[in-house]
Amino acid sequence: MDVFRTSGLIPDVLDEVPPAALKIKFGNAELRPGDTQTPTNVKDVPSVTIEQDASEFFTLICHDPDAPSREDPKFGEFQHWLVMNITNNDINTGEELTTYIGSGAPKGTGLHRYIFLLFKQTNGKIETKDLPRVPNNTADGRRLQKARDIAKRFNLQLVAGNFYLAEWDDYVPVLHAQLGFGK
């Protein structure tokens, strides 16, 4: 999975290549690391297949380190999804702290990298009652969320990853309006 290095995700987001590829599907299409997608294709929550010890707890993070652009990532990493306490290899058992949103690269900013990371929670279940919840209709709480910081704070161990590239298409204005951009 050297594509993590050639894409710059190492060192921009990670220090090491994920040990395994995380299985992600948008509709019937399985994501391969480094695939190019359109915001229209990734607007709905993907299916995630977790192949780990079903008795352990996991955290899933999806971030865009290139917000608002790769040349000026002043809002990156922008959090697109955060699910903690996933167990039984079923993402639906987890606690969704940041509701999924698809890609929203602003017009003219080129390809953005959208990275999915699966971490094992080495200390078991995480107490989340005091952690913020971020719905899908706001950017508040999504900016400047570093995967490294989250992993360190909660003692998470990287077990799998995947990513795609996407740039602006006609769906992005819909997502931006949903998030309250431009108001």
Looking at the DSSP assignment, which residues form a beta bridge with residue 25? 30, 47
Tell me which CATH homologous superfamily contains domain 3-179: PEBP-like (3.90.280.10)
For residue 90, how far is the Cα from the chain centroid? Answer: 17
- Residues with Cβ within 8 Å of 144's Cβ and at least 6 positions away in sequence, in order, are 75, 76, 77
Instruction: Find out whether 48 and 37 touch, Cβ atoms under 8 Å.
Output: no
What is the rounded CA–CA span in Å between residue 167 and residue 1?
22
The residue ranges of every structural domain in the chain are: 3-179
Model confidence pLDDT, tens digit, residues 83-99 = 999 999 999 999 999 99
Residue type present at position 58: F
Task: Give the model confidence (pLDDT) of 38-89 as tens digits.
Answer: 999 999 999 999 999 999 999 999 999 999 999 999 998 999 999 999 999 9
